[in-house]
Amino acid sequence: MRIVRTTDYKDMSRKAANVISAQVIMKPDCVLGLATGTTPLGAYSQLVEWCDKGDVDFSNVSTYNLDEYRGLTNDDPQSYHYFMRQNLFDKVNIDLARTHVPDGSNPDAEAACSEYDRMVREAGYPDLQLLGIGNNGHIGFNEPDSCFSKGTHCVNLTESTIKANSRLFEREEDVPRQAYTMGVQTIMYARMILVIASGEAKADAVYRMCYGPVDPDCPASILQLHTNCVVIADEAALSRCPQE
């Protein structure tokens, strides 16, 4: 696990966008695993700018997102489908048919999850998986647990995640209680993993991810075992970590 310390959110975002665009330039038909949340927003807008300038070309890229709230339709403004269209897909030259997000509108959890697993497997798994990290160490929506999850599955969100994510909803009651998420094993199949983190609120989770025991109580800690994982985080998010 390599750790890249950045001065602030902007610096983190630009460096992350550099890694993603390098991947696309090196392999124009690559498979990207993408993430939602507020952390990747800066990197996505940087990619939009570079795509506009012709520096990066998404026309042959395929994408697979980590997760989606269960029970939201694709055009619900709170859905991760909508988030991805608003912040990236509709603003770059990607073929929408090559973008994939778990189908939260399918009430049949087993069917929705196994279909998503099949698609990710047939795509050969991501060349590069972008990850944010939850305050409690979750990745995707893989919450602290007693074991690491495998494939895509339906999860009950923890109170702390519901609370953290409620800032993006009008009322806390509006936050869906369940989500479909790629499993930890699937995330680990990506050939490269890029974790981004910003702000003091992530300091504890980032410390546990990088230096804690590998323990499903902090799902991100398993990334220590990945052979090609880079963490790009700002000073505040790395404030509990030793300076190396």
Ligand X SMILES: N[C@@H]1[C@@H](O)[C@H](O)[C@@H](COP(=O)(O)O)O[C@@H]1O
> Which spans of this chain sit near ligand X (rule: CB under 6 A)?
35-39, 66-67, 132-134, 140-141, 161, 165
Asked whether the beta carbons of 109 and 12 are under 8 A apart, the reply is no
CA 64 to chain centre: 10
CB of 25 to ligand X, least distance (A): 25
Q: Which residue has the tokens 């997760």?
A: 67
CB of 42 to ligand X, least distance (A): 11
CB of 126 to ligand X, least distance (A): 14
Residues in the chain: 244
Q: Which residue has the tokens 């497997």?
A: 121
Asked whether the beta carbons of 223 and 184 are under 8 A apart, the reply is no
User: Residue 62 or 181: which CB sits closer to ligand X?
Assistant: 181
- DSSP-H helix ranges across the chain: 9-26, 41-52, 80-87, 109-122, 159-165, 184-188, 203-211
User: Residue 30 or 134: which CB sits closer to ligand X?
Assistant: 134
**Could you please report the per-residue DSSP string of 99-114?**
EE---TT-S-HHHHHH
Distance (Å, rounded) from C-alpha 71 to C-alpha 236?
35
At residue 153, what are phi and psi to the nearest 5 degrees?
-155, 170
User: Residue 46 or 161: which CB sits closer to ligand X?
Assistant: 161
CB of 234 to ligand X, least distance (A): 13
User: Residue 31 or 35: which CB sits closer to ligand X?
Assistant: 35
DSSP SS3 for 197: strand
Which residues are annotated as catalytic?
67, 136, 138, 143
At residue 33, what are phi and psi to the nearest 5 degrees?
-95, 125
Q: Which residue has the tokens 């800066």?
A: 42
CA 8 vs CA 122, 138, 218: distances in Å? 38, 22, 24
User: Residue 9 or 50: which CB sits closer to ligand X?
Assistant: 9
